[in-house]
Amino acid sequence: MSLALIAMSHSPLLHTAELPPAPEVRARVDGAFEAIHAFAAEYDPTLVVVFAPDHYNGFFYDLMPPFCVGLAAEAIGDYGTEAGPLSVDEAYALAVVRHAQQADIDMTLSRRMEVDHGAVQPLETLFGGLDAKPVVPVFVNGVAAPFVPMRRIRAMGQAVGDYLASLDERVLVIASGGLSHDPPVPQWDTASAGVREGLIDGRHPSPEAREARQRRVIEGAAAFARGEAPIRDLNPDWDRAFMADCAAGDPARFDAYEAEQMTEDAGHSSHEVRTWVAAFSALAAAGAYETTLEYYEAIPEYIAGFGVMAARTAGER
């Protein structure tokens, strides 16, 4: 039995930016990615649990759970990420659902989950593709308000971690997304009727609609990097404080994060850090842990307070 964790920001602009960051910035991101790749290779997990948000590709306002386990999952392939089925371990996925339910978590499940770059970028970065390892994908809502209190995400992560810690496996839990950022994802409250329809039921858009949406993000990022976009500033102080809370080994700290204040301080997509809360809470369920790797920098070209962390149960080698 053993648990390890990798948390990483994602950004579709990593591969698509028209105005890329300075080469030394990109080199530091690549260095951080190489370091977590090496960490994952050395740990050599036998099971991967990926906590990932979704950006109105798999989950919509026709039915929006706070979190959901995929018993089968398919990547939609946005922003040039790999498309196709994930190698989901259905038996473990179902056991995660059952265990969480018995721990008083109203876990939801999908037998046909669709995932986007949020789930796929970490799998590509760490393992080179979608199907290298048996995986349990766990959607955590990070964009569609309203949001359940953070203590519920903490409790969900803890329940999942309790189960994972009981297994005779080397489990890697992954968190994807965050930190402070405010990319041009439509908000229900300010969306037009047509856009709202897409937020309710926008599955499988036409290639033209998909392309238009991606253009909007790519152009928005370039404008933001030039200081010309109506996008909230990144907030490195907030990001560093959050990462310090992650390193502290005390998941109760997460309960202090209140959703509306987060939007105010760190932008509409800062709620993606719910994946980090779930993953660190899961890791903490296996006992004290130590952070072995930490990288952070604010990268406007990626519209992201960009952070990477790795951690594992203390005293294990």
Ligand X SMILES: O=C(O)CCc1cccc(O)c1O
Peptide bond into 12 cis (omega under 30): no
Nearer to Fe ion, 177 or 184 (CB): 177
Q: How far is the CB of 11 from Fe ion (least distance, A)?
A: 7
Bridging pattern class, strands 304-313 and 109-110: unpaired
Task: Tell me if residue 181 is catalytic.
Answer: yes
Distance CA 182, CA 281 (A): 25
Find which of ligand X, Fe ion, none residue 154 binds, CB within 5 to 8 Å per kind: none
Name the DSSP letter for residue 12: T
Pick the catalytic residue from 10, 55, 99, 117. 117
Task: Tell me if residue 37 is catalytic.
Answer: no
Pick the catalytic residue from 55, 181, 268, 271. 181
Q: Which helix (H) or strand (E) holds 115?
A: strand 113-115
Nearer to ligand X, 106 or 197 (CB): 197
Alpha-carbon distance values, 64 to 141, 142, 284 (Å):
8, 11, 27
Distance CA 238, CA 240 (A): 6
Q: Which stretch in 16-24, 58-66, 172-180, 276-284 sits in contact with Fe ion by CB under 5 A?
A: 172-180
Q: How far is the CB of 117 from Fe ion (least distance, A)?
A: 7
Interface positions with ligand X (CB under 6 A): 10-12, 55, 177, 181, 183, 185, 217, 269, 303-304
Nearer to Fe ion, 140 or 171 (CB): 140
**Can you state the angle between helices 90-102 and 150-165, rounded to 10 degrees?**
120
Find which of ligand X, Fe ion, none residue 12 binds, CB within 5 to 8 Å per kind: ligand X
Find which of ligand X, Fe ion, none residue 181 binds, CB within 5 to 8 Å per kind: ligand X
Tell me the per-residue interface mask from 175 to 194 with Fe ion, x by CB under 5 A, - otherwise: --x-----------------
3-state helix, strand, coil in the chain (%, to 5): 45, 20, 35
Find which of Fe ion, ligand X, none residue 304 binds, CB within 5 to 8 Å per kind: ligand X
Strands of the 2-8 sheet, one edge to the other: 109-110, 67-70, 135-140, 47-52, 170-176, 2-8, 304-313, 289-299
Question: Contact residues for Fe ion (CB under 5 A)?
Answer: 177
